Amino acid sequence: MVSCLAMCALLLIDGQWEDRAIRYQHLANEVGFYFLCCCLLGFCGVIGNANSNWEIGFLVILVITALILYNILVIIYVLARFVKLLIKRYFIMTFGKVNLSNLKATILCQK
């Protein structure tokens, strides 16, 4: 748990990632991991009620599922930005300066 807190502090102080989306993803993963560690250390074996164990188990599964979905969404977002820049670079190299909002008219004018 100390390493997770140290990594959060380093992330907030140093700014390891240039991309803001990746920085937020890293921070969300560290906070989620810290939360899971606290839940597992704090409630493991302490609660004798089976219903409470199920509730905490479902909470842990929900947090892990939310982190996985968030990571997938960030990956898709960064991939979409990269593909957009790649397409823009291709059309700039091919046709010169291109406005992506009016791409169809630009291609028809070049033919």
**Tens-digit pLDDT string for the chain (111 aa):** 677 778 777 777 877 777 888 888 888 888 888 888 888 787 776 667 777 778 888 888 999 999 999 999 999 999 999 999 898 888 777 777 656 666 666 666 655
Domain count, the chain: 1
**What pLDDT does 43 receive?**
73
Domain enclosing residue 77, as ranges: 2-110
pTM higher than 0.85: no
**What pLDDT does 111 receive?**
53
Question: What contacts 24+ positions apart, CB below 8 Å, involve 2-10?
Answer: 4/30, 4/33, 4/34, 4/37, 5/34, 8/34
